[in-house]
Every structure is written in C-alpha cells, then in structure tokens.
C-alpha cells in the first residue's frame, strides 16, 4: 500500500481571505503613494528647469520654484 502525499499546503501556512484582502489593499495603497511620489518628483524637477520668463507666465517666482523643486518626493502639498 502506497502513501498518498498531498501537494496542498498545510492549514497552518494558509492565509485567510480577510488577511489576503488586507495585504492586497495595503500593497495597492503603497503602489499608489509611490506613483504619486514619482510624479511629484518629476514635476518638481521640471519646475526647477523653467526659466524666469516661463515662471512669470504661470505666476510663480524663482524663489517659489526653487523651494518647490527642493522638496522631497514624499512631501505633499
């Protein structure tokens, strides 16, 4: 008589659906925040590259542009 080995994980290693949904939501929130930080970093970099005439066209002073361009990506408005 041969022993039948199951390839299913044991119950102590399975993760319940509520925990998986929670982990998925946490990952989605992190991914969204990361995407926002990347977008902010790119926008601030581009703002720092504008010349004074372009900045005056959009109503921003050089000091304001330099301040914004120097902010960290995770700093929000």
Q: Is residue 13 part of a domain?
A: no
Backbone angles phi, psi at 31, to 5 degrees: -60, -40
Residue 13: predicted pLDDT? 59
Task: Give me the number of domains the chain comprises.
Answer: 1
> Band of the pLDDT at 77, cuts 50, 70, 90?
low
> Band of the pLDDT at 3, cuts 50, 70, 90?
low
State pLDDT tens for residues 8-59: 555 565 667 777 888 899 999 999 999 999 999 999 999 999 999 999 999 9
Q: Is residue 72 part of a domain?
A: yes
Q: Is residue 4 part of a domain?
A: no
Domain span including residue 49: 34-77
Rounded to whole angstroms, the Cα distance separating 36 from 24 reads 18
pTM exceeding the 0.85 threshold for the entire prediction: no
Residue 8: predicted pLDDT? 55
């Amino acid at each position: 008589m041969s022993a039948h080995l199951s390839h299913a994980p044991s119950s102590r290693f399975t993760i319940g659906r509520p925990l998986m949904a929670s982990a998925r939501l946490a990952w989605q929130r992190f991914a969204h925040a990361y995407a926002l930080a990347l977008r902010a970093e790119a926008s601030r970099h581009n703002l720092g590259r504008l010349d004074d005439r372009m900045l005056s066209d959009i109503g921003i002073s050089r000091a304001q542009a330099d301040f914004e361009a120097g902010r960290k990506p995770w700093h929000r408005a």
